[in-house]
Every structure is written in C-alpha cells, then in structure tokens.
Amino acid sequence: MEYTDIAGRRVEVQAGQLTRVYFCGHCEQRDPAGYYHFWTMKNKEKKLRRGRCYHDKDPGWRFREMEGKAGYEEAWAEAQTAILVRPSSPEEVESWLNDTRHEGDAPCAQHGELNGQPIRIRRVDGHYIVEAMTPLENEDDRK
C-alpha cells in the first residue's frame, strides 16, 4: 500500500491507472507545459476534492500546496481530514476542466491517458469533454 502526507497526516493512495493530461504552456504563465496527473482526495466527511499536479510530484503534493493560500481556505480545511487519494475518473476530470476556477487552464488541455487509454480533450457546446481516441487517431497525433 502506498501513502502520501497531507497536513502532517499519513493518507492512503489508492492504486489505479493514472489519469494524465498534457497541457500546452500558453495559458497560465505559472503552470509550465507538460503532463499533469489528476487526483481525487476524499476526506472523513466523504467530501471529494479534485486536484491537478505536475507529473513528477507525489499524489498529495497538490493538496499540500493549498495550505495558507488565499482562495483555498475551504479546500485546505477539507484536505486536513483527508483519508484517501485516488486517480480521478473521467467525470471528475471533466468537472475540473469545466469549473470556472480553471477557465484559464482548461483551454490548454490537449490529450493524455485515462485508465491506460489514449484520450483527447475537446470543447463541445461550451463544455470540455474527455473522449477516448481510436488507435488510428492516436497514431495521427504522434506524427
């Protein structure tokens, strides 16, 4: 079993296929281009909080980063009672992308992997969606 630390507490990391999305770097200057993993934290009240973190950071990193930051007071309060961190589902990634707090980042989401399958991010009828790519589409994207 794997663990991470959040608010000085040992929190279980549920095993599973990573959810990762490539973001180009022209949206938010503070966020470099590259792959980001999506994690969902559950606290003792069973409240879920989604987070995106750099591909080379541990699963608790994003939630720890909320400590003391303006605008993250509620999220940090939830993180202090975290009991589990797990890979985010497709619906959770879509929810993150469509959250107005991420309107500066979401346009840079391009492609990635969800449960080991290639995906792309598209905007349809004003909403971002995560959709599976066919093997042929995946090959075309690599060219």
Number of domains making up the chain: 1
Q: What pLDDT does residue 29 have?
A: 76
Q: What pLDDT does residue 140 have?
A: 53
What is the C-alpha separation between 9 and 123, in angstroms, rounded? Answer: 38
The gap between the terminal CA atoms of the chain, to the nearest Å, is 39
Q: What pLDDT does residue 139 have?
A: 55
Judge contact between 59 and 17, C-beta under 8 A: no
Q: Could you give the percent of the chain with pLDDT greater than 90? A: 77
Domain range holding 25? Answer: 2-142
Band of residue 116 on the pLDDT scale cut at 50, 70, 90: confident
Q: What pLDDT does residue 136 have?
A: 62
Q: What is the largest CA-CA distance in the chain?
A: 47
Taking phi over 0 as left and psi of -120 to 50 as alpha, with beta for the rest, 67 belongs to beta
